[in-house]
Amino acid sequence: MNTGLPSVRGKIETHAPLDKLTWFRVGGRADILFTPEDADDLAYFLQNIPADMPVMALGVGSNLLVRDGGIRGAVIRFGKKFAQISVDKDEIIAGAGAPDIAVAGAARDAGLCGLEFLRGIPGTIGGAVRMNAGAYGAEMADILISAQVMDRHGQCHEVPKEDLHFSYRHSDLGQDMICLSVRLKGKPGSRDEIARRMQDIADAREDSQPLRTPTGGSTFKNPDGVKAWSLIDGAGCRGLQIGGARVSEKHCNFLINEGNATAQDIEDLGEEIRRRVMNNSGVDLTWEIRIVGEKEASS
């Protein structure tokens, strides 16, 4: 059925739409969308596609903007077998496809503290490693022990935290490396106190962020010593709209899809915000949302 592609146990789709797989609900198609059955299936796939075919992993599609022209090459989407979570004494072992909130919940149930901040991060643990995701005073660099990754040749490697050289919203995990699982460090704590902390985080998100509309999460990184939202607000961008994309009035470091936005609308709005902030405060905002794919060709 898929001429020229390897015979795998997982699911392969060609010319696959990606808009419904991202939080923004926009974007074009992937040449190939592959949901591997397990790590061996993924390795076989990588070893038997053209060596020059681009490959990228897709979690739940938060903090991601797929351009309207889609993605050339193969997109890897993890299924349930990559979302398993287990506990080993004071360590959490989680598949890369495990939602951050589920990892936080597993740590709570095991009476391990230090992972509560994951309750406030809308994504999967593999993506959290790649971008050193953080919130509410903590980040992945604080809890990661090591990550198991697969290279473009289908070979697995155990990478200790030190080799990822974490910095603010950044790791040295190469774009051609796919995170398979992580080992995280917790500390014994009171389940009730952990649960209260997680509820506080959930309440804070509900109060301050536009959780009921399509968005990609926090749009820009916080520059040193200042919050991005404050710079955006100060530049008069709260409520600013281009096409179907608008700056949230509730939290102006969030861009939202009013329902008919294109990826280009969202990207254009983000770039207009960057221009206005630079003119107003002299600060060059950096995208936190990852922008991938091709712009749609002009007709």
Active site residues: 169, 218, 288
Distances (CA, A) of 77 to 22, 31, 176: 12, 13, 15
Distance CA 147, CA 252 (A): 33
* Sign of the dihedral through C-alpha 35, 41, 47, 50: negative
Task: Give the up-direction half-sphere exposure of residue 81: CA atoms within 13 A in the CB hemisphere.
Answer: 9
Q: Exposed (0-12), middle (13-18) or buried (19+): which is 152, by Cβ within 10 Å?
A: middle
Q: Report the run of H or E that residue 271 belongs to, with start and end.
A: helix 263-281
Which residue type, as a one-letter code, is found at position 128? A
Q: Is 14 helix (H, G, I), strand (E, B) or coil?
A: strand
